[in-house]
Amino acid sequence: MMMAESLKGKSLFVTGGNAGIGLATARLFAAQGADIAIFARRSEQNAQAQIELEALGIRCLVFTGDVTNEAQLADALARTADTLGGLHYAFNNAGADQRAVLTTELAEADYTTQMDVNVKGTFFGMKHQIPLILASGGGAICNNASAAGLVGTPYQALYAAAKFAVVGLTKSTALEYAKTGVRVNAVCPGATTGDMFLRYQAAFPEAAAMAAAMHPMNRIGDKEEVAQAVLYLCRDATFTTGHALAIDGGLSVG
């Protein structure tokens, strides 16, 4: 049986990495020896995450910024590569949730938020990550899409549209770089213990209960289960690119 490769000497850049699925992924990569760079909006949470991750014996950089600001994101990526000796993996995880309302009740502001954070932020990330990963000898990018990017989801029309777009970005970019040593995949979680679903649950308990009940495995996922999938796609799935991996308890099957 093939032994799992240590990530010592490798680096991971994760957006939205100070909580939820992003932090769970950073913890898992750090436990495997990778150095971590976190790019997220809340400076206090960034500092807390840095302390936690450095306690695992790795280097951790934190950058406070917004994924919709291309200059901020590009600068953080360049500084990460300079400080950590290159960039090997990236997890474009930052995202925005949507109000649980009918399509006809959504506003232009809802549209802008969904497309800017979920789509533009992922695009900006890949645009500046790929050259750095190429310069480091190759690696992998994982984008956080959603089960809502695979199947229609009631009361989540714009969120679903944005996540379908993330899957499209992933597949198209994967084909562009398939021969270069940069693999690009996506995870597509259902409802999980990540911060986004927990916020949604608090704001829209009935809609959240309906969403959770749609999972055939009769539970929501753990954020750590998504982190394991990100690690698999980045480190272990060496002949896989352009794949949107459902981690949704069977939600997208039927």
pLDDT tens track for 24-44: 999 999 999 999 999 999 999
Query: Of the listed 89, 159, 177, 200, which one is catalytic?
Result: 159
pLDDT for 201:
80
Share of residues in the chain with pLDDT > 90 (%) = 86
pLDDT tens track for 44-91: 999 999 999 999 999 999 999 999 999 999 999 999 999 999 999 999
- Report the C-alpha gap between 175 and 47 in whole angstroms: 37
pLDDT for 205:
83
Domains of the chain: 11-246 (3.40.50.720)
Spatial CA neighbour of 74 closest among 117, 158, 132: 132
Q: Are 18 and 43 in contact (CB under 8 A)?
A: no
> DSSP string covering the chain, please?
-PPPPP-TT-EEEEETTTSHHHHHHHHHHHHTT-EEEEEES-HHHHHHHHHHHHTTTS-EEEEE--TT-HHHHHHHHHHHHHHHTS--EEEE-------S--GGG--HHHHHHIIIIIIIHHHHHHHHHHHHHHHTT-EEEEEE--GGGTS--TT-HHHHHHHHHHHHHHHHHHHHTTTTTEEEEEEEE-SBSSHHHHHHHHH-HHHHHHHHHT-TTSSPBPHHHHHHHHHIIIII-TT--S-EEEESTTTTT-
- Report the C-alpha gap between 192 and 135 in whole angstroms: 35
Looking at the predicted structure, is the pLDDT value of residue 1 above 50? no
Looking at the predicted structure, is the pLDDT value of residue 199 above 90? no
pLDDT for 197:
75
232 is catalytic: no
- Report the C-alpha gap between 167 and 180 in whole angstroms: 20
Mean pLDDT across 196-213: 79
pLDDT for 78:
98
pLDDT tens track for 120-169: 999 999 999 999 999 999 999 999 999 999 999 999 999 999 999 999 99
Looking at the predicted structure, is the pLDDT value of residue 177 above 60? yes
Q: How many residues does the chain have?
A: 254
pLDDT for 207:
74
pLDDT for 165:
98
Look at 103-112, 163-172, 213-222 and tell me which has the smallest mean pLDDT: 213-222
